[in-house]
Amino acid sequence: MLVIIKEDYDKLSAEAAKIVADRLRKKPNLVLGLATGSTPLGLYKELIRLHQNEGLDFSKVTTFNLDEYVGLAPTHDQSYHYFMKTNFFEHVNLAKRFVHLPDGMTKDVNAFCQWYEERISEFGGIDLQILGIGQNGHIAFNEPGSSLGSRTRIKTLTKNTRQANARFFEQNEEVPKYAITMGVGTIMDAKELLLVANGEGKADAIKGACEGPISAMAPASIIQMHRNAIVVTDKSAGAKLQGSYVDSWENVVFD
């Protein structure tokens, strides 16, 4: 695993964007796994800047998002469809037909989840999966206790997650109870992982993910088993790490 610690959020975002841009320039038809949440916003902003100012081309890129709430229409301002559209998709030249997110409105969740897995395989698998991390060590909606071999499926959101989300909705009853999420196994099948984290609130989760015991109670810890995992943090999120880390990915050779 390659751990890169940058001075602050802007530098970590720029570093992560550099890695994505490098992979995209090497493979214009990259299959890119995407995450929502506040952490990758700076990375998306920088990719948009690279597209607008340096012609970074997304026209042949295929994307697969990690997760989506069940019951929220793509137009709902708290849906991950809406988040991706407003924060990334409408600012770059992605082809709509190559963009995939779990369908939170599907009538047949199991069939949809199977289709999503098959669709990823059809495109040859995910080349680079962007990940955030929850304070409890979750990746996507794989909360502690999730099977480390899990595939795309419906998950019940924990009480904590629902409480944390309540502020985005007018009524408590509106807070989604379920989500469709890629599984830990689905994520691990990606050829390369790029996990971003910032802020001291993530320091324990990053310590657990990079140096803790591998456990279903800390789903992100499974990335220690991945052959091509890169973790980029700011100083605060990386503050508890004891192992070796670098300050830039350039010129680093690892397998």
Residues in CB range of 108: below 8 A, 6 or more apart: none
Q: Which stretch binds ligand F6R (CB under 6 A): 36-44, 111-119, 210-218, 239-247?
A: 36-44
Binding flag, residue 140, ligand F6R (CB under 6 A): yes
Tokens representing 138 are 């979750």
Closest-CA residue to 32 (of 45, 41, 50, 19)? 19
Q: Which amino acid is at 216?
A: A
Q: Between 132 and 208, whose beta carbon lies closer to ligand F6R? A: 132
Q: Which stretch binds ligand F6R (CB under 6 A): 30-38, 86-94, 147-155, 247-255?
A: 30-38
To the query of whether residue 67 is one of the catalytic residues in this protein, the response is yes
Q: Which stretch binds ligand F6R (CB under 6 A): 11-19, 54-62, 137-145, 171-179?
A: 137-145
Contact yes or no for 221/215 (Cβ under 8 A): yes
DSSP secondary structure of 71-95: T--TTSTTSHHHHHHHHTGGGS---
Per-position x/- string for 55-84, each x denoting binding to ligand F6R as judged by CB under 6 A, each - no binding: -----------xx-----------------
Q: Which residue number places its CB atom closest to ligand F6R?
A: 132
Binding flag, residue 138, ligand F6R (CB under 6 A): yes
Q: Between 52 and 163, whose beta carbon lies closer to ligand F6R? A: 163
Cα 112 from Cα 178, distance rounded (Å): 15
Tokens representing 187 are 């994520």
Q: What is the DSSP letter of 208?
A: H
Pairing of strands 229-234, 2-6: parallel
Residues near ligand F6R (CB under 6 A) are: 35-39, 66-67, 132-134, 138-140
* Catalytic annotation, residues: 67, 136, 138, 143
